Homo-oligomer: A and B are copies of this chain.
Amino acid sequence: MDNGEHEKNQTGKGDEQETRERILNAARQLMAQKGYKGATTRKISELAGVNEVTIFRHFKNKERILIELLEEMTEIRPALEKAIHACGHDVKSMLMHYGETYYNALVERKEVLIISLIESQNHPEVFNLLSRMPQIADEMLSEKLQEMHEAGLLPEGDFRTAAHMFVSAFFHSFLARHWVKVDCDIDMPTMTESSADILLRGIGSQ
């Protein structure tokens, strides 16, 4: 009932884990497609290939599935920080790396992100988690640009708006490609390089 997994799993068939994850996978997929309410426990069980009651043997109730899913959406900060520190003093390659990392992070969290976007109105905790994501991405890039400016790599500029523009472009691409599935005419590598170029010239260097 409370947290019944002991050391059985290591030796045992491991089915308990497997089943649990099959349920989570099914729920993730369905909730992203149909929303929380649209993903009925019946549909989830069918897609997971388990009996409906099995769901309630693993999760107290339906909401717990949602919560568990949302916990997957960990912070992006570490990934972005790594991207920033990876490259040295070349502004353009930093930008490209940052954009790519942000985009990939979004794609990796795709389903859960979409669920959050849809369900954020009803679940305030989700709401906070979600709203901080783009803000963080903006801020971190903005600070990095400021820092590079102070290091003499960039002239003065409105780095907040610049960062916002840059980050937005990738977020928008993500939405277009993975939610409202438009067949985009620009491929990602081109878009990454081009937008880095434009921003770079826009904020004044080279």
A-B contacts, 10 of them at CB < 8 A, read A117-B117, A117-B180, A131-B176, A134-B176, A134-B180, A134-B182, A160-B185, A160-B186, A161-B169, A161-B198
- Please tell me if the beta carbons of A38 and B37 are within 8 angstroms of each other in the complex: yes
Q: How far is the CA of A160 from the CA of B198 in the complex (A)?
A: 11
Given contacts A157-B198, A172-B172, 11 further A-B contacts (CB under 8 A): A35-B35, A35-B37, A37-B38, A38-B122, A134-B180, A158-B197, A162-B198, A165-B166, A165-B169, A199-B202, A202-B202
- Please tell me if the beta carbons of B180 and A130 are within 8 angstroms of each other in the complex: yes
This chain: copies in complex: 2
Q: Can you list, as one digit per residue, whether each of A146-183 has a CB less than 8 Å from chain B (1) or not (0)?
A: 00000000000110111011111101110010011110
* Residue on B nearest A171 in the bound complex, by CB: B172
Residues of B within 8 A of A168 (CB): 165, 168-169, 171-173
Query: Which A residues contact B (CB, under 8 angstroms)?
Result: 33-35, 37-38, 117-118, 120-122, 127, 130-131, 134-135, 157-158, 160-162, 164-169, 171-173, 176, 179-182, 185-186, 190-191, 194-195, 197-204
